[in-house]
Amino acid sequence: MKNSDIAVGLDIGTTKIVAIVGRRNDRGKVEVLGVGKTKSLGVHRGVVNNITKTMESIQAAISEAESTSGEEIKSVVVGIAGQHIRSLQHTDYIDRDNFDEVIEEEDILELISQVKKLVMLPGEEIIHVLPQEYKIDGQSEIKEPVGMSGRRIESNFHVVVGNVASIRNIGRCVVNSGLELDDITLEPIASADSVLSEEEKEAGVALIDIGGGTTDLAIFKDGIIRHSAVVPFGGNVITEDIKEGCSIIEKQAELLKVKFGSAWPGENSENEIVSIPGLRGREPKEVTMKNLSKIIHARVIEIVEHVFLEIKNYGHEEPKKKLIAGIVLTGGGAELKHIRQMVEYITGMDCRIGYPNEHLASGSDKRLASPIFATSVGLLIKGLDKVEARKKLEVEEEVEVVIEPEVVVLTPKEEIPEPNIEEKPKKPEKVKKVKSNFLENFATKLREFLENE
């Protein structure tokens, strides 16, 4: 990319592939420079099942984003989802030899690196290691251990695990499309960055992202992610049910769902009818609105009950795990009429629709405020965070060292030399301080693997 301040988020979804180019303005808001959107042809339920078609879709989306932004795209932050994703809780610790010194960032990175070496099931790989509370020499509930003193550092971790082949296939699609893989992020975590406020994360909230092929869940409490899961159902199964129930083609079923669909059948009467054109001169087909909403209602209940089971597994009824902020719905499925009321009815929890417009600069394209773009905007925010982190590291590495002037002691016999007017004072020399990093970067490993392949 021409501008080092610019980042790109690439959302490889089941129904669409979106590339968003943007940067942060002076007020810290995200300024979107260009968007590329195309139909996803090689992805099923969040997993790549046709590399060639997926590559073509990625290249089409990137090409459109380049033409609308005027920027050359070289690297992207990619989201990952799919039914192969699972999460687990793990506790680990390290004992420090230099316990007289304060805890530094390197100690935390060493602990995280140790967790990344956990042995997973065959064919699985760790995607994220997310620290929760720390414990130092028995003192618990510490959120920021850096700067404290102690010998033993212990922490609870939220570990996200995925299928190696699925991760590699996404990486291959990106690299073979002529792009660099800057980072891979779990999609519900990216969506949370774009639609949730810090107050909601602190109070306790469940984010439900209803996509085309999967429904993603991320639960936050005390500002920390506590649970994540992927349910292998999404908006596509609703479309499939309408297609089968009304005996129409998929394109017509999708249009019916978007334009006339409702998750609550009680509002429609029997005499409300939609006429669908017949194929190749055949008679038009008539579908009652009540029958349509009944089909949608049944599938929405199934999806919400699956997600609610995951919320129960987290233990939201315990006083310390209570989700005060309730549920936030986002993703394309959140635009379905009356779905918010259905979620509130089934779960008994407060619910709102999450729009990714909180972090966007004023004057941004109004289409981006739709829940459909929640993951895409979240991936862009992740990319911009990485850009800022790299800049901060470069500044920290440049340490100014002032060289003290040499003191000359003169004997009585020696004459004091005449001052040299032309000689300029020496400027402080800059040296670079190399900062060791123990954290094994997942995206770097994946790039190296793909290059070797």
Each residue of 124-149: pLDDT tens digit? Answer: 999 999 998 899 998 988 989 999 99
Paired sense of beta strands 16-24 and 30-39, if any: antiparallel
Report the distance separating Cα 181 and Cα 383, nearest Å.
11
Q: Which residues pair with 91 in a beta bridge?
A: 156
Report the distance separating Cα 125 and Cα 119, nearest Å.
9
CB-neighbour burial class of residue 259 (10 A; exposed 0-12, middle 13-18, buried 19+): exposed
Residue 267 has pLDDT above 50, yes or no: yes
Report the distance separating Cα 395 and Cα 129, nearest Å.
27
Write the CA distances from 352 to 330, 334, 381, integer angstroms: 9, 10, 22
**Token duo for residue 370:** 């739709």
Report the distance separating Cα 168 and Cα 170, nearest Å.
5
Residue type, 224: I
Report the distance separating Cα 125 and Cα 24, nearest Å.
33
Report the distance separating Cα 80 and Cα 96, nearest Å.
35
Does the domain spanning 86-163 belong to CATH 3.30.1490.110? yes
Q: pLDDT by residue (tens digit) across 386-422?
A: 988 888 877 776 654 444 455 444 444 444 455 454 4
Give domain limits for the chain: 86-163, 199-354
Q: pLDDT by residue (tens digit) across 317-355?
A: 999 999 999 999 999 999 999 999 999 999 999 999 999
Residue type, 381: I
pTM for the structure as a whole: 0.83
Residue 433 has pLDDT above 60, yes or no: no
Taking alpha carbons only, the member of 177, 168, 169, 167 closest to residue 73 is: 177
Neighbours of 415 (CB within 10 A): 6
Q: pLDDT by residue (tens digit) across 83-100?
A: 889 999 999 999 998 878
pLDDT the model gives residue 367: 83
- Give the SS3 label for residue 69: helix
Residue 20 has pLDDT above 50, yes or no: yes
CB 425 within 8 A of CB 402: no
Does the domain spanning 199-354 belong to CATH 3.30.420.40? yes
- Give the SS3 label for residue 437: coil
CB 294 within 8 A of CB 201: no
pLDDT the model gives residue 428: 45
**Token duo for residue 326:** 């309730």
